[in-house]
Amino acid sequence: MSVKDNLNTIKSELPEEVALVAVSKTKPNKDILEAYQAGQRVFGENKVQEMVQKWEGLPKDIKWHMIGHLQRNKVKYMAGFVSLIHGVDSPRLLKEINKQAKKHDRVIPCLLQIHIAEEDTKFGLDQAELDELIASDTFKAMENIKIVGLMGMATFTEDESQIRREFAQLKSTFDDLKTKLNDITTLSMGMSGDFGIAIEEGSNMVRIGSSIFGARNYS
Ligand SMILES: *Cc1c(COP(=O)(O)O)cnc(C)c1O
């Protein structure tokens, strides 16, 4: 199967209201261009350097999403062009994004990452940290970021009921956040292995890599 065929298969499985982020990390520009030529415009990367290089070499109407864990000192390299940052998991990171966005005279849309998995290795805020963040004066004073929703990753497990439970928990946090902030529209949950369950539980943005581009080789 080609990238184009894989992409079309995935798209045929997604309801119209669910946005697709094609996760192109580790994949070469030629694979991204194949997806681009098949109509895909939104791509996700998890390393800033790699995303900057790809942004430089590829068509400028691509929307680049940063989906990985983000270090504060890297924000400046992508602040001029990144279109959505999925993994915001601390007030300090948000502050840095706000500062760099201001330098570029833009407002950067962000998703707050919520910790829903059992594993400690996954990043994200818990409910108390989320509540504290959105109630803080520093948050209210930030004019160059806009929180548009939440992102989360379920536990890596065969246990479907656990995955479902974790996604349902994130959906309920999302619905609650909508009552507290304006402009909350996006719930980013679901990857190649679990996007079907994520959509059933209310996701409207899925991040899919290997099912489109094939397995990744980390060297
Ligand atoms: C790599 C990655 C994905 C895509 O994973 P696949 O299993 O290849 O679809 C989605 N979200 C995040 C945060 C990732 O790092």
Taken in order of first residue, the domains within the chain and their CATH numbers are 3-213 (3.20.20.10)
Give dist(CA 54, CA 38) in Å, integer.
Answer: 18
- Residue 45 has a pLDDT of 98
Question: What is the rounded average pLDDT for all residues in the chain?
Answer: 96
- Does the C-beta of 190 come closer than 6 Å to ligand 1? no
- Does the C-beta of 46 come closer than 6 Å to ligand 1? yes
- Residue 120 has a pLDDT of 78
pLDDT in tens, 41-96: 999 999 999 999 999 999 999 999 999 999 999 999 999 999 999 999 999 999 99
**Ligand 1 center to residue 209 CA distance, Å?**
6
- Residue 119 has a pLDDT of 81
Asked whether the whole model's pTM tops 0.85, one would answer yes
- Residue 219 has a pLDDT of 54
Q: Which residue has the tokens 């400690």?
A: 120
Quick one: three-class SS letters along 33-65? HHHHHCCCCEEEECCHHHHHHHHHHCCCCCEEE
Task: Please tell me which residue, 149 or 120, carries the higher pLDDT value.
Answer: 149
Asked if pLDDT for residue 218 goes beyond 80, the answer is no
195 band by pLDDT with thresholds 50, 70 and 90? very high
Ligand 1 mutation target, pool 3, 14, 46, most atoms within 8 A of CB: 46
Average pLDDT over residues 154-168: 96
pLDDT in tens, 112-147: 999 999 887 778 999 999 999 999 999 999 999 999
Q: Tokens standing for 69?
A: 């864990």
Using left for φ > 0, alpha for ψ between -120 and 50, and beta otherwise, residue 5 falls in: alpha
Sort strands 84-88 and 19-23 into parallel, antiparallel or unpaired. unpaired
Dihedral Cα 39, 41, 47, 52, nearest 10 deg: 110
- Does the C-beta of 207 come closer than 6 Å to ligand 1? yes
- Does the C-beta of 152 come closer than 6 Å to ligand 1? no
- Does the C-beta of 85 come closer than 6 Å to ligand 1? no
